[in-house]
Each structure stands twice: as C-alpha cells, then as structure tokens.
C-alpha cells in the first residue's frame, strides 16, 4: 500500500480497466471527464474521436494540479492519440492519428491524475469518445 503523498514505488503500477467515455450529443465547450481524479496513476495512452465531420477536440490532462492542454481538428470517425511534448518554454499535447508513442523518454504519472475532453466547435451532434489506458499503485 502506498501512503498518500509518498512517491510511487519502483515496481510497475497495476493495470486498470480502460476509462471510457461515449458522450452522445456533446455540448460545445463543455469538459467531459474520461478519467476522474485518480491517485498514484500512470497514463499509458489517451485516445479521442468524434462522430461528426469538422470538429475540433481538446484534451486536458491535470497532474498534481498542473494542467496541460492540446487540440486538433478531427475528421469524422478518426481516432487520435494524445502525446505530451515538453519543450524549453512549454509543455503541450499533440493529437495525431499515429498510435501512442513508444519508448517515451518520460512517464505521464502523478499523485493525482485527471483526463478530460471537449469539442470546441458545433459542426454536428456526433458522439464524443475518449479512452484512457492507465495503471495505478494500490
């Protein structure tokens, strides 16, 4: 058992069932939670899609109170994968049709992790979908 506020142990986290969201008729600019605040979590993959053409979707990842956001214009029925890019001046998401990056030089993990998505356009009423693959220390 990991004590609250203590660093994660060296052993890998226990894999959890994927967190899924399928929000029918999503409201423009409304954040929908895919993975609610989860203690001691490691994110392995984040995927988003929308069943309408010409929508812009944003992903918001909150780790220990620090927020990272990214967006992309999505064609209909195309799954996009979120990857965090960290640079000299900022950290952001890139949404790409390429599968989740492997061999990442850093891990997306924290004492408290939350993932939300929204669409910022109103091109249609297609279902907004999100999935988070993750593990956590118990």
Residues in a beta bridge with 32? 117
- Of 4, 23, 9, 48, the C-alpha closest to 135 is 9
The domains of the chain are located at 31-136
DSSP state of 103: S
Per-residue pLDDT of the chain (138 residues; tens, 9 = 90+): 555 666 655 688 999 999 999 999 999 999 999 999 999 999 988 888 888 888 888 889 999 998 888 887 877 677 777 776 655 555 556 666 655 555 555 678 899 999 999 999 988 888 999 999 999 997
Handedness of CA 31, 34, 39, 41 (dihedral sign): negative
| pTM of the full structure | 0.82
pLDDT of residue 52: 85
């Amino acid at each position: 058992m990991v004590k609250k506020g203590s660093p994660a142990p060296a052993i890998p986290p226990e894999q959890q069932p994927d967190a899924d969201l399928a929000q029918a008729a999503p409201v423009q600019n409304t954040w929908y939670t895919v993975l609610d605040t989860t203690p001691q979590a490691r994110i392995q993959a984040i995927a988003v899609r929308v069943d309408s053409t010409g929508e812009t979707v944003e992903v918001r990842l909150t780790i220990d109170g620090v927020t990272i956001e990214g967006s992309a214009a999505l064609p209909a029925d195309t799954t996009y994968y979120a990857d965090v890019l960290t640079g000299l001046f900022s950290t952001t998401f890139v949404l790409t049709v390429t599968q989740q990056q492997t061999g990442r030089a850093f891990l997306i993990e924290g004492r408290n992790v939350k993932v939300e998505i929204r669409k910022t356009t109103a091109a249609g009423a297609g279902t907004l979908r999100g999935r988070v693959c993750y593990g956590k220390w118990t």
